[in-house]
Amino acid sequence: MRARWFPFLAGLAFSFRHLLAVDVDAEDFRRLVDRVAAQEEAIETFRSSVSQLRNDLARLRAENDKLKAQLDAPRNYATQDQITQLGQQLKEVEKNRTTDKQQILDALEKLKAAPPVVVPPPPAPVTVPPTRGSAGEKPPTGSGPANTEKPTPPADPGPELPSEFYEHVLAEGETLGAVLEAYNKTHGLKVRLAHVLKANPSIKDPKRLRVGQKIRIPAVK
């Protein structure tokens, strides 16, 4: 760097000697001062660039050393036996998954071919005759006001149910409407929601069913 700036310094000294030898006015001297200031500013900028380059070089050397250390560090590679063992384990898992899937399909086929469960009809209601008075006579008539209240009509017993039922376990995502549609299509039934509600008194709200709940599907044809 000294060799680079030597011509400039030599020229500057020559300029000063020339100023001493000749008569220089104030304007020329100001220009010379500005030139010297510009040269000093250029030198400072060059020094800053050199310092920045040195810092970048040090950073690059540090990163290079770090990468070299990582490349030289020992690595844990899987051996051929470990890869072979992993492949065998994956094949065993796939085999078990295929077996489980086939077992599920077989169970569904057996469930579809199973006959409906026959539920015995409920016992007939027992009619209790009206009781008489203590002396065995009919209660007197005309002694009180006549009973003008209308008899309460009997409650609607709902649709008639057959004696055969299917038992269905509700799976996740199934709705009661979808279950009825599937049974009607698969077994040729004509079961409606009213039949299911009457066969399952515990169902209060058909929209609030839980997974795993057993539902009796009447075999309405």
Look at strands 214-218 and 117-118 and give their pairing: unpaired
Locate 39 and state its tokens.
Answer: 């040269």
pLDDT in tens, 40-76: 888 888 888 899 999 999 999 999 998 888 888 776 6
Region for residue 50 given its phi and psi (left: phi exceeds 0; alpha: psi -120 to 50; beta: otherwise)? alpha
pTM of structure? 0.34
What pLDDT score was predicted for residue 135? 47
Between CA 205 and CA 150 the distance in angstroms is 33
What pLDDT score was predicted for residue 34? 87
C-alpha 20 chain-centroid distance = 89
DSSP assignments along 14-63, one per residue: HHHHHHHHS---HHHHHHHHHHHHHHHHHHHHHHHHHHHHHHHHHHHHHH
Mean pLDDT over residues 126-137, rounded?
50
Considering the chain, what is the average pLDDT of its residues? 77
Mean pLDDT over residues 113-142, rounded?
53
What pLDDT score was predicted for residue 181? 93
Residue 168 pLDDT level (bands cut at 50, 70, 90): very high
The residue with greater pLDDT, 99 or 195, is: 195
